[in-house]
Structure 1
């Protein structure tokens, strides 16, 4: 019983204690707090909604950027594929063009008997008739023309050469006797070059061209620098070079006594004690441009003219004629004046030998205007005149007796000289005719140059010139021509050089090209009438004459 009452009391007490009105709980939420919480939750919900919208926008933007990048990458890949295909096609086309060009050069270097000229449309507005429309005289007419107008005019060539060579020997000997070997240049024996020594001289008066090599005094020597084998040289300076004047004490292989203090007790066995090389600053290099170690062509010209004048005054009393300079801009252009009023011109050209070869650097060369001039007074023209003479002499030994190669060159040169008197000089000169003949000699068989084929070979020579003019391309015969026989001894640097285009001035000067082409076609048009005029009467038995021999 007691325990029952105690239990009831305990329940009542517990209920009273836990009643919220008597003992309020600490975590109890009043109505106003619930409203605040609800408001904050609404604000938080709005923020979360805005953040969700922002994130959705960023995700959409990233997706758009990714799609754009994928599209750009796809387009770039397509472009690369198309570019690769185009590059492959371009490479194949280039290879094909190179193969065609190599085939064309290999098969067309040897000219065909037909006219090599291009289509008439290649020269718009050309009034002159193309070569294939001109009928050249037959062999009988050409033979008679040659006998009357060329062979007779050159009959005195041997006597002229003999007279000029004897006088030049005396003149150079006098020059050597006046020169101081310690200070002056030393001249060597002359070398005959060009048409007079190749037996195709046509123009009168007969003109001898003589190279006069010279060397510097000790302790100097010449160091030639070839430009034909360098790809860095501008096109307008190909075929030229420079001559560097080097002292012996500047040579790495020379003596070093001038660069080292030997002391009082030491003596150079090569130079001795009193002949030590002076410092470079105390000695001025002879005939060089100011501030340059390279030989100056203008100073060489003045030196050579003064030296020839002094030499002539020394021997003038032995001769009954006068000697004068023919052209002031050419150092060795001389003219002998006889008391009868006749004169005999000749050229003494100062040259420098290129190493141990037959190449020579020429200060001034009396040749037809080429349209280009040296860029500097230290530029020297490279001459192959001695090699040309050797090649013609070597080739003539393999040709049949009475070969017509020089006859063709003489007739073409005669026609060109007559045309010059009518229309004046043009860009086409005798050297171009000679170069064309050398190319034909190298490409033709020796049996093709028989005397009976004079008319065919003359026509082919003129056709070759016409084709070269139309293409504005006539390669130098030696520079870059690997078909030249090795027995000629041409330097390997010249053989492996890039080909030199002698007609390059026509590419740069259109007026010169037009004048040259007009003059060439007018020469062709006048050729039949000119040859007929000089061949008014042809003997009936002229065609049966034996072939004429040309001796080199």
Structure 2
């Protein structure tokens, strides 16, 4: 802008100095033609005006550019200051949230699940029904109720287990005799799990649940992939895993269905094709490489049900009863039907052992603890049933004689079962009751489980469930629980995994949560009257099963 002004001044001074009227030259002569002089002066003036306009435009343009630069610099400074303030505020918020979360975790670790206040510091109930208002019958009434309704109903549990185990031994042996040990799946001995083998079964009819492990023929192996071994997994897939089928030497997967005759009714676990329909060599290679290498639960169900059917046909003549499937969508859900019209259900669940541990993958459970179903047919639920049985046995040895822990679980399970018949099933299952008891067993001293403390411990168990429902949080007993004794032999990866919330479905399904809360409150309300009524009279639904079954 200064340069422009200097140029304007220089032009004006030059014009003044050269003006003939103001500074006439000594030897100059007046032109004879005055009009010509005036015309030249006018032309020169017009030229000066044009130059002045051009200079003014340049000055205005320079001023606008300077203002724009200053405005951009000011905006950049403001944005920088705002960004710095936002980063500072975000950092402070993150620090505050972290402090709150650490405090909450510390508070939970110190106060949950042990309930250190005992019977005087019970938690308030849900839905306006305080649990401390629950008045359970005295120990005498509870003992009378337990003897009449629970112990009498499960008196023949040992005999039922013995009968079912003998029959299953014969059935599995027949199944093995139909298989080629070199090319077919190898079925191992069964393992008894759940309430019938943990001595807290209360529902009638008595139900034995047996795991039947199976392995592939050599040189193939099952390679399990657990959810905590992956970088990211959806919340609803926690607790599940997949099983890859491959050769033990690491070669690419190839199918065995074309190398052996599986029979007209037998199915290949990977391809679902009957053994009699042998495809060509090229088609076989296409199926083996194109299909997923992960074991499919639906194919396992079909294979296992077909194998059991053939095994039963082989030994059916030895028995004076019929065998049928109770639920077609559940593998191994069987029912023995006697000629008298009575029946005896039991479950044979095909499972796969997870490496060398007591963890087992199951394709489906009639009562899945998480209340959800797999999203994919290659998802297998990881079961801790064998570890749970071992923990209860190990704990029982350290408890006083006649400890009340199983009695508490049986009474709570009885109340839950009766409530389900009144108002329908809810999101609360027997597995949740057992998980709550396991947490209390780990938190309480052994002396707190004396028989005389049955009422207090039952009240505490119900209080624990109420608190868990209130928070929508019930952690799996083994997953992520580093307080589990190392003597259990639990894999370290399971102990160090993130805790698994069994009540996570309540967070996503509000209707299920409200129905569960209402059912639980109704159960608490009906508990005293129900216990008193059953103490005086045992309904007909607790009649025992036939005492004997003829085996030829």
Question: What's the TM-score bracket when you normalise by the shorter of the two chains?
Answer: 0.7 to 0.9
Distance 1:533 1:479 in 2: 40
- Structure number with greater Rg is 1
State the secondary structure of the residue aligned to 1:214: strand
**Distance (whole Å) between structure 2 residues aligned to residue 280 and residue 116 of structure 1:** 69
Q: Distance in 2 between matches of 1:56 and 1:311?
A: 103
Preserved contact between residue 125 and residue 466 of structure 2 (Cα < 8 Å):
no
What is the CA distance between 1:289 and its match in structure 2?
A: 12
Partner Cα distance (1:91, 1:370) in 2:
32
Distance in 1 between residues matched to 2:203 and 2:311, nearest whole Å: 29
Cα separation, partners in 2 of 1:227 and 1:92, compared to 1, 3 Å: closer
RMSD: 2.9
2:535 partner SS: coil
Identify which of 36, 41, 58 aligns with 2:61: 58
Which is further off, 79-88 or 145-154?
A: 79-88
Q: Distance in 2 between matches of 1:370 and 1:77?
A: 50
Count of residues in Structure 1 that have an aligned counterpart in Structure 2 = 482
1:373-405 deviation line (CA, Å, top 9, x unaligned): 111222111111001111111112222222111
More moved, 66-75 vs 460-469: 66-75
Which residue is equivalent to 1:90? 93
User: Following TM superposition, by how much is the alpha carbon of 1:196 offset from its aligned partner in structure 2, in angstroms?
Assistant: 1.1
Q: Alpha-carbon deviation of 1:99?
A: 2.4
Q: Do the aligned partners of 1:359 and 1:382 also contact (CA within 8 Å) in 2?
A: yes
Residue aligning to 1:487? 487
| Equivalent in the alignment of 1:274 | none
In structure 1, the residue matched to 2:171 is: 171
- 1:92–1:233 Cα change, 3 Å: closer
| 1:301–1:331 CA contact under 8 A, matched in 2 | yes
d(CA) in 2 for partners of 1:428, 1:163: 31
Q: TM-score, normalised by structure 1?
A: 0.80
Residue 310 of structure 1 deviates from its aligned partner by 1.7
Give CA-to-partner distance per residue, 1:445-486, whole Å, 9 cap, x none. 222212121111111111111111122221111122222222
Q: Greater CA deviation, 440-449 or 49-58?
A: 49-58
Matched, 1:307 2:315: no
Residue in structure 2 matched with residue 30 of structure 1 by the alignment:
31
> Mind listing any 5+ residue stretches in structure 2 that lack a counterpart?
1-25, 253-279, 538-552
- Deviation of 1:199 (Å): 0.8
Q: What is the alpha-carbon distance in structure 2 between the residues aligned to residue 285 and residue 222 of structure 1?
A: 21
**Structure 1 312/472 Cα, relative in aligned 2: closer, same or farther at 3 Å?**
same
1:76-117 Cα distance to aligned partner (Å, 9 max, x none): 354245324423431331232122222222212233225664
Tell me the residue number matched to 1:99.
102
**1:181 alignment partner in structure 2:** 181
Deviation at 1:220, TM superposition (A): 2.0
Residue 157 of structure 1, CA deviation: 1.4
What SS does the aligned partner of 1:535 have? Answer: helix
Tell me the equivalent position of 2:474.
474
Corresponding residue number in structure 2 for 1:272 = none
The aligned counterpart of 1:225 is: 225
Q: d(CA) in 2 for partners of 1:280 and 1:115?
A: 72
Counterparts in 2 of 1:469 and 1:102: CA distance versus 1, 3 Å: closer
Q: Name the residue aligned to 2:525.
A: 525
Deviation string 1:412-466 (CA, Å, 9 cap, x unpaired) is 0111111122122221111110111111112222222121211111111111111
Match of 1:263 in 2: none
Shift of 1:200: 0.7
Kindly provide the CA deviation profile for residues 235-291 of structure 1, in whole angstroms up to 9, marking residues without a partner as x.
121111111111346449xxxxxxxxxxxxxxxxxxxxxxxxxx99675799x9982
Which whole-Å CA distance do the structure 1 matches of 2:324 and 2:405 have between them? Answer: 36
Matched with 2:398 is 398
What are the equivalent positions in structure 2 for 1:505-524 lying under 5 Å apart?
505-524=505-524
Distance 1:74 1:285 in 2: 64
Is 2:448 the partner of 1:445? no
Secondary structure (helix, strand or coil) at the match of 2:478 reads: coil
- Please show how residues 94-173 of structure 1 align to structure 2 within 5 Å: 94-112=97-115, 113=118, 114=120, 117=123, 123=127, 129-173=129-173
Q: 2:426 corresponds to which residue?
A: 426
CA contact (8 A) 2:124 2:131 kept: no
Shift of 1:191: 0.6
Structure 2 length-normalised TM: 0.80
Alpha-carbon offset, residue 411 of structure 1: 0.5
1:369 Cα deviation from its structure 2 partner = 7.7
In the TM superposition, what is the alpha-carbon distance from 1:52 to its structure 2 partner?
4.1
Partner of 1:376: helix, strand, or coil?
coil
Cα distance in structure 1, aligned partners of 2:342 and 2:157: 16
Q: Is 1:387 paired with 2:390?
A: no
How far apart, in 1, do the equivalents of 2:467 and 2:281 lie? Answer: 54
Q: Cα distance 1:89–1:423, how it changes in 2: closer, same or farther (>3 A)?
A: same
Equivalent residue for 2:14? none
Give the distance between the partners of 1:66 and 1:320, measured in 2 at CA. Answer: 100
Aligned equivalents of 1:424, 1:290: Cα separation in 2: 45
Displacement of 1:493 in angstroms is 2.2
Give yes or no for contact 1:117–1:470 (8 Å, CA) kept in 2: no
Assess if the C-alpha contact under 8 Å between 2:227 and 2:239 holds in 1: yes
1:191-206 correspondence to structure 2 within 5 Å = 191-206=191-206
Contact 2:369 2:432 in 1 (8 A): no
1:244–1:294 contact (8 Å) kept in structure 2: yes
Q: Distance in 2 between matches of 1:427 and 1:280?
A: 50
Corresponding residue for 1:297? 297
